[in-house]
Amino acid sequence: MGYDYYKEFSLFYDEFRGRNLQLLFEIPLQFFGFACNKEAGPFLDLGCGTGDLAIYFAEKGFEVTGVDLSLGMLEAARAKVDQKKLKNIRLLQQDIVELDLEPGFAYIHARETFMHFNAEQLEKVFKKCWRALKPEGIFLFEIMTPFGLKKFCNGVSNRTSNNCKYTINGIFNDIDNSAILNYEFLFTDGRQSIFSLKCSGHDLLQICPLLAGTGFKKICAFDLDNSLTFENGVLKVGLPSIVSDNTSSMMVCVKKELQA
């Protein structure tokens, strides 16, 4: 691979990442009536990053594979896996677009990963996932909409972590719903890192036919903005919807619909 820009993120990534791991997988599954159990088979996390979701499922007894392109992110994940002495998790460096794994996964998950792919790459990834799943396997992934990416690009954002101050300046392109995100990191030890990365927003109405064309069934979208609220520790679930101000959704689909 080229420059491992995610290595820079890995130095403080966990400070900013959302902590609600259930929201990333179990709640959307339950909402649409899919089971989540380790007896169904192994779990694959695509773009596993620093490993928290992969570890969460390994600790529940699943056989887990985490795939990521960034050695920096994988090193951070490996340190946690070793510290927890987990034996049922393997971490692999692979490009998801060229994913090369044995088939037989019961679950494939991806969160904040597919924004790195344009529609053509995404279609290729969907086909790879379809092949890697077992017949009743479930594919669940987060997708950022063009509206969400445009909103993210709206203005310069400054953030401070324990060891880094950083700025993100995004430029959205309405023609193909992509964006160039320009990052400037200034670490407390004086080191500076400047890089750009290209992201794509994906319209749910374009994603659904791509999934259907790949062969996926029962394609559902769970609106992450409007569907969930926690009040006094009680989870309230609203309706999944495709609304104009939706910034990101969890898509859930199955390789082959189960017979009732």
Ligand X SMILES: C[S@@+](CC[C@H](N)C(=O)[O-])C[C@H]1O[C@@H](n2cnc3c(N)ncnc32)[C@H](O)[C@@H]1O
Our finding on whether 69 is near ligand X (CB under 6 A) is yes
Least separation, in Å, of the C-beta of 67 and ligand X?
6
Least separation, in Å, of the C-beta of 236 and ligand X?
24
Least separation, in Å, of the C-beta of 204 and ligand X?
19
Q: Which of 97, 168, 186, 210 binds ligand X (CB under 6 A)?
A: 97
Quote the strand ranges of the chain, DSSP E: 43-46, 64-68, 89-93, 105-110, 133-144, 156-160, 164-173, 178-187, 192-200, 217-223, 228-231, 234-237, 248-254
Strands 234-237 and 164-173: unpaired
Our finding on whether 8 is near ligand X (CB under 6 A) is no
Q: What are phi and psi of 91, to 5 degrees?
A: -120, 125
Sign of CA dihedral 32, 36, 39, 45: positive
Q: Which of 44, 58, 64, 73 binds ligand X (CB under 6 A)?
A: 73
Using the contact rule CB under 6 A, the part of the chain among 89-97, 150-158, 169-177, 233-241 near ligand X is: 89-97
- Nearer Cβ to ligand X (15/257): 15
Amino acid residing at 244 = S
> Collapsing DSSP states into helix, strand and coil, what is residue 247?
coil
Q: Rg of the chain's alpha carbons, rounded to an integer? A: 18
- Nearer Cβ to ligand X (113/247): 113
- Burial profile 20-33: b = 16 or more Cβ within 10 angstroms, e = fewer: ebebbbbbbbebbe
- Would you state the structure tokens that stand for residue 146, as one six-digit string? 């063009």
Looking at residues 108 to 137 of the shown chain, list those that interact with ligand X (rule: CB under 6 A). Answer: 111-113, 116
Using the contact rule CB under 6 A, the part of the chain among 65-73, 163-171, 172-180, 186-194 near ligand X is: 65-73
Our finding on whether 223 is near ligand X (CB under 6 A) is no
Least separation, in Å, of the C-beta of 101 and ligand X?
12
Our finding on whether 68 is near ligand X (CB under 6 A) is yes
Give the footprint of ligand X on this chain (CB under 6 A): 6, 17, 47-49, 68-70, 73, 95-97, 111-113, 116
